[in-house]
Amino acid sequence: MRVVIFGPQGAGKGTQAQLIAEKTGAEHISTGDLVRAEIKAGSDLGKKIQEYNDRGDLVPDEIIVEMAKPYLKETDSWLLDGFPRNQAQAKALDEALEDLGIGLDAAIAMEAPDEALVERLSGRRTSEATGRIYHVEHDPPPEDDPGPFTQRKDDIEESILHRLEIYHKQTEPLKDYYYARGILVSVDATRSIPEVTEDVLQAVGEDG
């Protein structure tokens, strides 16, 4: 199973990728985690990435692909989370996979209406005492967590709407790209976490 998973912030990409990896034995490859690990390790690639970050520039696609390539090659089954984010990156990934002599089995699009994502993200609160994340409506803090409870700056509605705008403009066109390839799988991310996991497993033929 070689799968990419994408969707707007708040759709649960990382959660689902982790759960599906646990259930199938596939490797969960998060490009965000790889970037942080390279920087922390102080590798040549990490230093290069840090230079882009320090300048406030986007890390070039070829550097991300170069970083991910060994992980894509060393295991037969993986879920790629966080890349590609646009069609140029999708093409760069296709070229890298072609170089490695492997193909992509499916592209999973996690879908949810903007209003549901705004409600989900804007309601998040983090306990400064325990580090746990709660939701003001769906998962309020228990009485034994003293707090205080803070809201991340990027969970303010204005910030969420801005990120969603970027997603619709840059990342959502991946649906057309992968649909044309015949490997697009659209999943309703508003359902419960176990239901979404089951939908994805069925879609990629790993449901038992």
Task: Write down the catalytic residue from 69, 163, 175, 181.
Answer: 163
Please count the helices (runs of H) and the strands (runs of E) in the chain.
Answer: 9, 8
Say which amino acid occupies 200. Answer: V
- Fold category of 2-203 in CATH: Rossmann fold (3.40.50)
With both helix axes pointing from N to C terminus, report the angle between 114-122 and 157-166 in degrees, rounded to the nearest 10: 140
Report d(CA 5, CA 204) in Å as an integer.
12
36 as an active site residue: the answer is: no
85 as an active site residue: the answer is: yes
13 as an active site residue: the answer is: yes
User: Which residue is associated with the tokens 């296709």?
Assistant: 94
- Coil, strand, or helix at residue 103? coil
Could you read off the pLDDT tens digit of each residue along the chain, which spans 208 residues?
899 999 998 898 888 998 999 999 999 998 888 888 888 998 888 898 888 888 877 788 888 888 888 889 888 899 999 899 999 999 999 999 999 999 999 999 999 999 999 988 888 899 988 888 888 888 888 889 888 999 888 788 888 898 899 899 999 999 999 999 999 999 999 998 899 999 889 887 766 5
* Alpha-helical runs (H) found in the chain: 13-24, 31-41, 44-55, 61-74, 87-100, 114-122, 157-166, 174-181, 193-203
2 as an active site residue: the answer is: no
Taking a C-beta distance cutoff of 8 angstroms, is the pair 160, 112 a contact? no
Task: Write down the catalytic residue from 36, 132, 152, 169.
Answer: 152
Residue from 140, 38, 119, 49 nearest 30 by CA: 38
The model's pTM: 0.83
pLDDT digits (tens, 9 = 90+) for 101-159: 999 999 999 999 999 999 888 888 999 888 888 888 888 888 898 889 998 887 888 88
CB atoms within 10 A of CB 178: 23
Taking a C-beta distance cutoff of 8 angstroms, is the pair 15, 194 a contact? no
Task: Write down the catalytic residue from 2, 120, 124, 125.
Answer: 124
